[in-house]
A and B are shown apart, each in its own frame.
Chain A
Amino acid sequence: MIEVDNVYFSYPNGVEVLKGVSLKINDGEFVAIMGQNGAGKTTLVKHFNGLLKPTRGRVLVDGVDTRHTTVAALARKVGFVFQNPDHQLFSETVEDEISFALRNFGFDEKVIRERVNWALNLLDLTQYRKVSPFMLSGGEKKRVALASVLAWDPKFLVLDEPTIGQDSYQKEKLKQFILHLNHQGKTVIIVTHDIEFVAECEPRVILMANGRIIADENARDVLTDPELISAASLVLPEVTQLFMRLNDLGFPRKVISVYEAKRLILERLRQVMC
């Protein structure tokens, strides 16, 4: 469990980015943290693996106060994939990149080989095994960064903007394996602006604005609340925008899924045609 207890955080330049944030993430949850640029989302999740320590308040990861342990110790438990893959990649080949942390954690060579193969395969990267990560496209680099973290199987997985630069096929795969990992019991925390992705996954949604949490509810309730959504500098999902208007014609407002939209419209069409 990750517990954030009334956390305040200021960067050395004095800007206060978190202003009293409290939340609990239980084991096995799937949480999306959303909000405008500069709302404090990335700053918040950097507290989960101890990269940042609270100026006031505390963060406990499985009961351990992040101020009293090291990033190295926390990293084994909390895998973090950065927004910009260029901040994370450094090895000569994709294979080396993925093996690096495994070697550091002291896995034996046979396990390393298996884990690397598994991660390459999972993220469609096998063909790039011997290629320099810096030769890859933006979307592919992002997948290498993700593979290198998934390889050591951390208990908590934090993904900062995982869908950026991903085409729809890769996004669909990403969705499938996030849901799969979560189903197997892994705790997944994503920071994202991608409201359509969130509408498809339906996780618990935490909305942030100006260093505070302004909503913490299920996806359907948060994503269909126009005031909350605009306070977080987001745009309602397309399907929700449509149903806000279709409400004139007696349709419900709180619709986020395109399949539910199809069902509701078909029902109505079949009624009027009979």
Chain B
Amino acid sequence: MAIIEARNLTYTYPLSEKPAFKNVNLSIEKGEFVLLTGPSGCGKTTLCRCFNGLIPHFYGGKLEGEIIVAGLRTVDHPIHELAQHVGLVFQNPENQLFALNVEKDVAFGLENLGYPRDEIRRRVDWALKVTGIYDLRSKPPFELSGGQQQRVAIASVLAMQPEIIVLDEPTSFLDPLTARNILEVIYQLNRSLGITVVLVEHRLDLVARYANRIIVMNNGEIIADGEPRRVFLDENVKLVGIGVPKVVKLYLLLKEEGFDLGRVPLSPEEAYEAIAEVLAHDRG
């Protein structure tokens, strides 16, 4: 059974006339790594807020259709219950951090759920280490840089080891090397523990290689949904102008000139192999 299932989902914020998204049908299986993208203002953040019940419980407004997450109809279950299944990392880390030191922020969710002390200690240390902020554990979050705060927010969610992790542009403030390391950690959790990942991101160059599926939204509707190589070639997607990775762009430019590299490359390594092969083939 799908771990996230939306049927004809339409949502309108309070005081707003136009729905933020409409008629969304979506089914995400356990263990998927889904990349959700689209132009700014397309409704992707709003959709994420439905996954852990922030919509409708916190934001109010009008939610039509049905959404079931981890077997629970979100409208019938409070946010704190849904939070045990779905961890959400916000776009702006300041909206999420509140404790007096990093360690307490990361431990907060586990303490609330009444985990034993040793277990909390073990999970908090692990989350601090994998996000590279162990040395900052006794600092107040508000003294940290944007990138460091973002890592605290990610650590707080990782520590909970929920079934589903939803990350809304989680690495926007991070330097690329740190961003890549964190995405690797998330990818490993996805592979080894089968945690379902929904990642909202514009920078597809960083994430295309991890996702098994890309969903593209525009103007509150899903306009493409499928395997990355296929979505990058989709005509609708081209019209919206999502930022395909540079190696995909190169593939498309060569194709316009009549040279087909065969498979759409999702990383420089794949592009290298395709080009080397074409050259070797033509030489022979």
Q: How many residues of B contact A (CB 8 A)?
A: 50
Count of A-B contacts judged by CB separation below 8 Å: 141
* Alpha-carbon distance A155/B253, docked complex (angstroms): 38
Question: What are 10 A-B residue pairs whose CB atoms fall within 8 Å in the complex?
Answer: A37-B174, A84-B94, A138-B92, A233-B177, A235-B177, A237-B246, A238-B205, A241-B268, A242-B272, A265-B259
Q: Are B250 and A273 closer than 8 Å at their CB atoms?
A: no
List A193-212 residues whose CB lies under 8 Å from chain B: 193-196
Known: A165-B172, A261-B250, A272-B283. 11 other contacts (CB 8 A): A35-B175, A138-B169, A161-B173, A165-B91, A230-B177, A238-B205, A238-B245, A238-B268, A242-B268, A249-B276, A265-B254
Q: Tell me whether A246 is interfacial, beta carbon within 8 Å.
A: yes
* Residues of chain A with a CB closer than 8 A to B194's CB: none
CB-nearest residue of chain A to B282: A272
Contacting pair B250 A262 (CB below 8 A) = yes
Q: Answer yes or no: A93 CB below 8 A from chain B CBs.
A: no
- Cα–Cα, bound, A84→B147 (Å): 11
The secondary-structure label for the interface of chain B is: helix
Q: Are B146 and A84 in contact (CB under 8 A)?
A: yes
SS class of chain A's interface: helix, strand, loop or mixed? helix
Give the docked Cα–Cα distance between A249 and B283 (Å): 12
Q: Say yes or no: B272 contacts A266, CB within 8 Å.
A: no
Residues of chain A in range 236-274 having any CB-CB distance to chain B below 8 Å: 237-239, 241-242, 245-246, 248-249, 258-259, 261-262, 265-266, 268-269, 272-273
A143-183 interface code vs B (CB 8 A; 1 in, 0 out): 00000000000000000010011111111100000000000
The residues of B that contact A138 with a CB separation of less than 8 Å are 40, 45, 91-92, 169
Check: A38 CB closer than 8 A to any chain B CB. yes
- Assuming the contacts A193-B175, A269-B259, asked whether A38 and B250 have C-beta atoms less than 8 A apart, the reply is no
A139 within 8 A of B: yes
Question: Residue on A with the closest CB to B242?
Answer: A168
Evaluate contact between A167 and B147: CB separation under 8 angstroms: no
A245→B282 contact, CB < 8 A? no
B146-165 with Cβ < 8 A to chain A: 146-148
- Give, as a whole number of angstroms, the nearest-CB distance from B20 to chain A: 10
CA distance A38 to B257 in the complex (A): 44
Q: Is the CB of B39 within 8 A of A258?
A: no
Contact residue among A86, A172, A258 (Cβ-Cβ distance under 8 Å from B246) = A258
Q: Of A168, A233, A248, which is within 8 A of B243 by CB?
A: A168
A234 lies within 8 A of chain B by Cβ: yes
Give me the 8 closest cross-chain CB pairs, A-B, nearest first.
A168-B243, A139-B40, A37-B147, A241-B268, A238-B246, A235-B176, A242-B268, A233-B177
